[in-house]
Structure 1
Amino acid sequence: MDANPERMTGEFRVDLTPLDIRYQEFRQSLRGYAVAEVREYLGRVSDRLTLILEENERLRAQVRDLETQLAGAREGEAELKRAVVAAERIAREIKAQAEREAEIIKRETEAERQAALQEAVDQIKRMKAEIDQARNERDLFLSQFRALLEGYLTSLERYKR
Structure 2
Amino acid sequence: MSLTPLDIHNKEFSRSFRGYNEDEVNEFLDQIIKDYEALIRENKDIQNQLQTTQDRLDHFSNIEETLSKTIIVAQEAADELKTNSKKESQLILKEAEKNADRIINEALTRSRKVALEIEELKKQASIYRTRFRTLLEAQLEILNDESWNTMQLQHKEVE
Fold agreement, TM-score > 0.5: yes
User: Mean alpha-carbon deviation: is it higher for 67-76 or for 51-60?
Assistant: 67-76
Structure 2: give runs of 5+ residues left out of the alignment.
151-159
- 1:99 equivalenced with 2:86 (yes/no): yes
1:9 aligned partner: none
User: Which residue of the partner structure matches residue 11 of structure 2?
Assistant: 24
Q: Which residue of 2 aligns with 1:139?
A: 126
Which amino acid in 2 is paired with 1:117? I
Bigger RCO (CA 8 Å, 6+ sep) = 2
Task: Give the TM-score normalised by the residue count of structure 1.
Answer: 0.77
1:88 corresponds, among 50, 65, 75, to 75
2:35 corresponding residue in structure 1: 48
AA paired with 2:74? A
**Residue identity matched to 2:37:** T
CA distance in 1, matches of 2:3, 2:68: 49
Shift of 1:30: 4.7
Which SS does the other structure have where 1:98 is aligned? Answer: helix
Letter of the 1:148 partner, please give it: L
Find the residue that maps to 1:62 and give its secondary structure: helix
Choose which of 60, 74, 93 in structure 2 pairs with 1:73. 60
**Distance in 1 separating the partners of 2:93 and 2:111:** 26
Identify the range of structure 1 (54-63 vs 29-38) with the bigger mean alpha-carbon deviation: 29-38
1:58 to 35, 45, 56: 45
TM-superposed deviation, 1:28: 4.2
Q: Name the TM-score, length of structure 2 as normaliser.
A: 0.78
Cα distance in 2 between the residues matched to 1:160 and 1:142: 29
CA drift of 1:108 comes to 0.4
| Distance across 1 between alignment mates of 2:149 and 2:5 | 162
Q: Is 151-160 or 30-39 further displaced after alignment?
A: 30-39
By how many angstroms is 1:29 displaced?
4.5
- Larger-gyration structure (1/2): 2
- Residue aligning to 1:113: 100
Match of 1:6 in 2: none
Which deviations, in whole Å up to 9, do the C-alpha atoms of 1:78-120 show, x marking residues without a partner?
A: 3333333233223222222222111111110000011111111
For 1:20 and 1:124, locate their aligned partners in 2 and report how far apart those are by CA, in whole Å: 115
Give, in whole Å, the separation in 2 of the partners of 1:135 and 1:48: 126
Residues 11-65 of structure 1, C-alpha deviations (whole Å, 9 max, x = no match): xx7x322122234333445544433333222212211111110111122122223
Identity across the alignment (%): 28
CA shift digits 1:110-160 (9 cap, x unpaired): 000111111111222222222222222222221111111111000101123
CA-based RMSD: 2.2
Q: State how far apart, in whole Å, the 2-side matches of 1:51 and 1:86 are.
A: 51
